[in-house]
Amino acid sequence: MGAGVMKSGGGGGRRKRVRRSQAISEINITPFVDVMLVLLIVFMVAAPLMTVGVPVELPKTEASALPIDQEEPLSVTITADGLVMIQTTEVPPAELVTRLQAIAGERASDRIYLRADGANSWDMVAQVMGALNAGGFSNIGLVTDTGGSTFAPQPQ
**pLDDT tens digits for range 13-71:** 566 666 777 777 788 888 889 999 999 999 888 877 766 566 767 777 777 766 665 66
Distance CA 85, CA 143 (A): 14
Q: Looking at residue 47, what is its pLDDT?
A: 78
Distance CA 90, CA 78 (A): 10
Residue 47 lies in a domain: no
Distance CA 108, CA 74 (A): 12
Assess contact for 62 and 99: CB atoms under 8 A. Answer: no
Residue 34 lies in a domain: no
Q: Which whole number is the average pLDDT over 100-118?
A: 84
Residue 156 lies in a domain: no
Indicate the Cα dihedral angle 113, 116, 117, 118, nearest 10°. -110
| pTM over 0.85, yes/no | no
Domain that holds residue 60: 54-146
Residue 141 lies in a domain: yes
Assess contact for 113 and 76: CB atoms under 8 A. Answer: yes
Largest CA distance in the chain: 127
Residue 12 lies in a domain: no
Q: Are strands 139-143 and 111-116 parallel, antiparallel or unpaired?
A: parallel
Query: What is the domain-level CATH number for residue 78?
Result: 3.30.420.270
Distance CA 96, CA 135 (A): 8
Residue 23 lies in a domain: no
Residue 37 lies in a domain: no
Domain total in the chain: 1
Higher-pLDDT residue of 137, 34: 34
Residue 7 lies in a domain: no
Q: Which of 75, 60, 31, 68 minimizes the C-alpha distance to 144?
A: 60
